[in-house]
Structure 1
Amino acid sequence: MGLDQDEGAKVTPLNPGASGGGIPRAGVPAEGPPAEEAAAGRSAPPGPAGPAGPGEADILAFPEPPAKRRRRRALLAAGVVLGVVGAILAVVVFTPLLAVRTIAVHGTHLLTPAQVEARLEPVRGRSLALVGDEEVAALVGGLVQVKETRTRAEPPGTLVVTVVERTPVALVRQAKTLLVVDGDGVVLGKAAKRADYPVPLIDGAAMPVGKEVFRAVTGVLSALPADVLAKLATASADSPDSVQLRLSDGRTVVWGNAEDRELKSRVLQALMKADARRAAGEAPVNVFDVSAPRHPVTR
């Protein structure tokens, strides 16, 4: 009975579906994941991502608006300009290269340039940019001959000061002294002799300086043109309404009060020119009455 097997021998069944596994038959795939799952794991295209985790959110960068970009550039340019201007101002104000080293004075007749320069010594060495008209006017304000001043800076170190002096309109005789006064009655100084100033003479004893009558006379004289003023010899008045002028040739001008000074001045100038052209044989005019300038009288 050669075909007998031992009772303890075990025979492995050739069943591919058995749970213990076995030798696969030809053409039958081995056990494993289903074919559909394997294919999906190998070639499935990426789909839309699921919800992102913390810190993984996508950020969309939008371009800067043109208006905001222009504003930022304008602010940057303004900052650069301000910086440059500040640097220039610092150079102008603080550099010794632009300090006042020379003071040039123009327009003086009653004063000498040296007198004005002496008053302006405090600005020497200061920056040209820091010296203004008001400071110069204050420094020379103690000089009564100065009516006003104008200043101009000429870099690198010259301060030009133009002086406008008061105009002498009369000499006032006080005892043995001749005082020079302007149209406001301001005493400008003393005259050595009468010929130094071609202006009329006022008797200081009859019209004290500073009084109302005195100011009325000087106000009238300030309105006269230079060519007429040079022909006057004296000026007098008993009251502010009775100003009279005497010409150097002896003729008289009846002026009246200080009203309409400019009109009276023009009328007097025209009458004197007409008298200068009078025909031969005509009687000369001895009195020019312009107290009523719209109805002047000559006699």
Structure 2
Amino acid sequence: MRRPRAPRPAHEPVEPAGAEEAGRAPERAAESAHPGPAAPEGAGPARYPAVVPGADPAAASTGVATRADPGSLGRLREYAASSVVSTGLTDRLAERRRAARSLRLRRLTGAVVVVLVIAAIVWGVLYSPLLALRPADITVVGAEDASGAVSADQVRGVLAAHEGESLVRLDVDRLGGEVADGLVRVRSASVTRSWPHGLAVSLELRNPVAAQETDGGYAVLDSEAVVLETVAEAPAGLTRLATDGAGEGAPRLTAAQVATMTAIMGSLDATTRQQVSRATVSTAGQVVLSLANGASAVWGDGSQNALKARVLATLLTTPASVYDVSAPHNPTTR
């Protein structure tokens, strides 16, 4: 026999999706139309629904959360990133400006310091007493060759006008010229600096080689016919200059004749020069040297003086009354 089937349950009506939500919509609309009582005092600030960029403004006004558009989050991130980049760039530019100002200030300060240091060094070297000349610190070399004719104090006296000047600013060549011009016995002077306050002066002196009679006495001459001094009496040991046939009616020596004879006397070595007592010159310019032993030396004109002097020094070793060196390559004695 067949078993009887159980009766099927009656199907309950299935509520369509969203019906419940749709049924609540009028209630929410009524609540929004008739707001509830205000929040009591002290209950805190009212909360407002957040508005998401890209979301439906109507949903934001009703307070119903909705999902934002897919591009809204990207725009939000771009906005935030652009704000950060803008703020960071501004800060970096400001920092760079501050660094540039600081660098300029440091450079300016460094330049001022360098200028002040250089100015201090220049003043100390050129104008301060640090390197100032002191006459007491001037040393003189070569004055002893003049047999007291030139003293170190005379040289210091000439250079005393530069006392207190920095050695760096002194022109040593000009100082040498001042010494030579200020002291007639000095032919030339070489000046060097002796740090920190002195000078070293090396002298080349003029040596007297002849004497010329003048109205005021006897002029003492060197090899360049420079008058070193004038004395009342003929100096001993110096050759006297005269014209040939000297007498009361003899012509006076010309400057050219004096220059020729002093150059001849200057070419002789000291030993030979001491043997010459007198030198005469003719109107034709021929010079004859009279020796202290009575002999004579025919010199001729003023050419080849150095060679003639060497030849005469050699001939004087042979006794003779006349030594002729006017032709130095063919000298004769008799």
Once the 2 structures are TM-superposed, how far is the Cα of residue 264 of structure 1 from its aligned partner?
A: 1.4
Q: How many residues align?
A: 248
Name the structure 2 match of 1:132.
171
Once the 2 structures are TM-superposed, how far is the Cα of residue 188 of structure 1 from its aligned partner?
A: 0.7
**Cα distance in 2 for residues equivalent to 1:184 and 1:258:** 13
Once the 2 structures are TM-superposed, how far is the Cα of residue 181 of structure 1 from its aligned partner?
A: 0.4
Name the structure 1 match of 2:156.
117
**Cα distance in 2 for residues equivalent to 1:167 and 1:234:** 18
Q: Say which of 116, 123, 146 aligns to 2:186.
A: 146
Once the 2 structures are TM-superposed, how far is the Cα of residue 53 of structure 1 from its aligned partner?
A: 8.0
Counterpart of 2:313, as a letter, is Q
SS in 2 for 1:111: coil
**Cα distance in 1 for residues equivalent to 2:230 and 2:256:** 22
Relative to structure 1, the CA distance from residue 85 to residue 183 in structure 2 (aligned partners, 3 Å threshold; closer, same or farther) is: farther
Relative to the length of structure 2, the TM-score reads 0.59
Relative to structure 1, the CA distance from residue 85 to residue 247 in structure 2 (aligned partners, 3 Å threshold; closer, same or farther) is: farther
Higher helix proportion, which one? 2
SS in 2 for 1:269: helix
Name the structure 2 match of 1:296.
331
**Cα distance in 2 for residues equivalent to 1:192 and 1:266:** 34
SS in 2 for 1:183: coil
- Asked if 1:286 corresponds to 2:324, the answer is no
Please tell me whether the aligned partners of residues 158 and 178 of structure 2 are also in contact (alpha carbons under 8 angstroms). no
Name the structure 2 match of 1:66.
none
Name the structure 1 match of 2:290.
246
Relative to structure 1, the CA distance from residue 235 to residue 19 in structure 2 (aligned partners, 3 Å threshold; closer, same or farther) is: farther
Q: Say which of 199, 205, 212 aligns to 2:238.
A: 199
Please tell me whether the aligned partners of residues 232 and 247 of structure 1 are also in contact (alpha carbons under 8 angstroms). yes
Relative to the length of structure 1, the TM-score reads 0.65
User: Alignment identity in percent?
Assistant: 29
CA RMSD across the alignment: 4.2
Please tell me whether the aligned partners of residues 140 and 155 of structure 2 are also in contact (alpha carbons under 8 angstroms). yes
Name the structure 2 match of 1:107.
142
**Cα distance in 2 for residues equivalent to 1:20 and 1:229:** 151
Alignment of 1:66-77 (within 5 A): none
Larger RCO, structure (CA 8 Å, separation 6 or more)? 1
Once the 2 structures are TM-superposed, how far is the Cα of residue 95 of structure 1 from its aligned partner?
A: 2.1
Name the structure 1 match of 2:98.
none
- Structure possessing the higher radius of gyration over alpha carbons: 2
Relative to structure 1, the CA distance from residue 209 to residue 139 in structure 2 (aligned partners, 3 Å threshold; closer, same or farther) is: farther
Structure 1 spans left out of the alignment, 5+ residues: 1-11, 24-30, 60-75, 276-283
Name the structure 2 match of 1:9.
none
Q: Deviations over 1:52-106 (max 9, x none)?
A: 98996999xxxxxxxxxxxxxxxx9xx97x9877654432222214222224334
Structure 2 spans left out of the alignment, 5+ residues: 1-12, 25-64, 94-109
Name the structure 2 match of 1:267.
311
